[in-house]
Amino acid sequence: MDVKLPDEVELLAELTIYNEKLGKFITNTTNLVWDAIDADKKILLEGAQGTLLDIDHGTYPYVTSSATVSAGACTGLGIAPKDIGVVTGIVKAYTTRVGNGPFPTEDFTDAGETMANVGKEVGTTTGRGRRCGWFDAVGVRHASRLNGCDQLSLMKLDVLDGFETIKICVAYEVNGERINYVPSHMDNIIPIYEEIKGWDSVVGCREYDQLPETAKLYIEKIEELTKTKVGIISTSPEREDTIIRK
């Protein structure tokens, strides 16, 4: 096989250009973060991808190549576990997944199509349409415990506007047995649902008390099932339409 090796002169010239533009931004990020911690500064760490794509704790082999759970902040940045403060889990008011892999609450009816269309569910990087389904409280409770979530940020609540009833997965059925945990193998899971009456619209709500009563019931049911407080609620694509609960 004819393999072309990199040319040292060409490679050095290319890297020199990168260095001129990016060199001043390169530093020892571990020391940078430690200094910020010692100075009692606020540090925001944002994780990428979902918990069940984690290389160790995800739905293998349908996973990514890195640690996507909150503990990845420790291994990735060199932060000690005790230095991690508040952990906020980001979830949608429904469930989505890109690509293959188990998805117990995936909805193949018009409801799932509505979620995809209204929520504009297209993968940011891949451009692939996301699979959509009802909120999986079993999976979210698992993810919350795994990440040590202090609160959840519930996004896209407005996508569920107009549904007559809204389903929420409260347990799984596996081989005829009802379970309330994520099993090691997620094949042949049948979701067990409870239904909640829907609402007209949450768009524009910026205070919790402004939400329709049925929307509040939905949020409180999520809190009950996931054992995690919903501290932030997004009610539209507008930045200002965000509820911060104390």
pLDDT tens figures, 8-17: 999 999 999 9
Q: Does 210 count as an annotated binding residue?
A: no
Residue 113 pLDDT: 96
Phi, psi at 175, each rounded to 5°: 55, 40
Q: Does 157 count as an annotated binding residue?
A: yes
Q: Does 38 count as an annotated binding residue?
A: no
> Contact, 189 vs 104, CB < 8 A?
yes
Ranges of beta strands (E only) in the chain are: 88-92, 95-97, 131-133, 135-136, 151-155, 165-174, 177-179, 190-197, 229-234, 242-244
Give the angle 16-21-26 at the CA atoms, nearest 5°.
90
CATH number for the segment(s) 86-246: 3.90.170.10
Residue 187 pLDDT: 85
Q: Kindly give the parts of the chain with pLDDT less than 70.
A: 1
Residue 126 pLDDT: 78
> Contact, 58 vs 52, CB < 8 A?
yes
Q: Does 24 count as an annotated binding residue?
A: no
Q: Does 64 count as an annotated binding residue?
A: yes
Phi, psi at 147, each rounded to 5°: -95, -10
Residue 219 pLDDT: 98
Residue 124 pLDDT: 76
Q: Does 127 count as an annotated binding residue?
A: yes
Task: Establish whether the linkage from the previous residue to 183 is cis, with ω within 30° of 0.
Answer: no
Q: Does 156 count as an annotated binding residue?
A: yes
Tokens 């090691």 belong to which residue?
184
Q: Does 235 count as an annotated binding residue?
A: no
Residue 54 pLDDT: 95
Residue 96 pLDDT: 96
Q: Among candidates 159, 151, 147, which has minimal Cα distance to 222?
A: 151
CA-CA-CA-CA torsion sign (225, 227, 229, 232): negative
Q: Does 197 count as an annotated binding residue?
A: no
